[in-house]
Amino acid sequence: MTQHRILITGGASGIGAGIARHWANMGNDVLITDVDDALGAALAQELGATYQHHDVTSVEQWAQFISQHKPFDVVFLNAGVASGGNIFGATNPEEVFEFDLGNYRRVSSINIDGVVLGVAHLANAMVKNGGGDIVVTASMAGLFPIQADPIYGLTKHAVLGFVKSLAPTLIEHNVCLSAICPFFVDTPLVNAESQALIRETGFDILTVDQVIDAAQTAVAERSAGAQWVIFPGLPVVKAPEPALLP
């Protein structure tokens, strides 16, 4: 089997850790990056992979990172966070809403900048190396409204717009950019209380293994700009493209 060079950002836990475990167990050369050094280093040691501290929101760290590494064959831009709730929700009864600017900046920088900067710094090296695959972890919140966390929804809509818009250019140079869009997943991002509320609506919670299957499909199918939807109880499918205006 051919050994591939794999990069996973946000790979210390959750979906990223599952993807890292899958590709490392297949015998690939896996590099995990994160800001949680304890979890990341422990996982890398377990898998025989490599760990590196990396802040995906930092232009300087991306520039340094790309100078340290040879081109990757497959990249999973997975780092992401939720806002922790509806930051427009008012706690003061005299206010319609309250806006937490710091939380907004934090979520936007990780979820959006982490993808845009990653592609900006990795794609050229991939092209020069003959091509590769970049898979972004988006969300069903990028396809549908998410009233409970509108800023998270904003960032995931932005990520999907970026993927769909840039993918046609990159595929001309054999770099396939696509995204996976899971429903709520059993990870630290969705706490036990939230999972219970979701189940009360009649929906189940995805396992990390189900998301890994979608990530594998994205790499195998190489459908540029695709948004691979993962929903409980249904097979992985591509989100339909909107009809173009005449």
- CATH number for the domain that contains residue 183: 3.40.50.720
Question: Is 244 a member of any domain?
Answer: no
Determine whether 51 is an active site residue: no
Q: What is the pLDDT of residues 170-184, one digit of tens each?
A: 999 999 999 999 887
Q: What is the pLDDT of residues 75-102, one digit of tens each?
A: 999 999 988 765 455 566 666 666 789 9
Count of domains in the chain? 1
Question: Is 246 a member of any domain?
Answer: no
Question: Is 204 a member of any domain?
Answer: yes
Cα gap 172→163, rounded to integer Å: 14
Question: Is 36 a member of any domain?
Answer: yes
Choose between 225 and 83: higher pLDDT: 225
What are the respective helix, strand and coil percentages of the chain, to the nearest 5?
A: 45, 15, 40
Question: Is 245 a member of any domain?
Answer: no
Question: Is 223 a member of any domain?
Answer: yes
- What pLDDT score was predicted for residue 84? 72
The answer to whether the CB of 209 falls within 8 A of the CB of 230 is no
Question: Is 63 a member of any domain?
Answer: yes
The answer to whether the CB of 137 falls within 8 A of the CB of 76 is yes
- What pLDDT score was predicted for residue 220? 96
Of these residues, 65, 76, 152, 228, which one is catalytic? 152
Q: What is the pLDDT of residues 199-222, one digit of tens each?
A: 555 555 677 888 888 999 999 999
Which amino acid would we find at residue 177? Answer: L
Question: Is 24 a member of any domain?
Answer: yes
Domain membership of residue 49 as a residue range: 5-238
Q: SS3 of 44, please?
A: helix
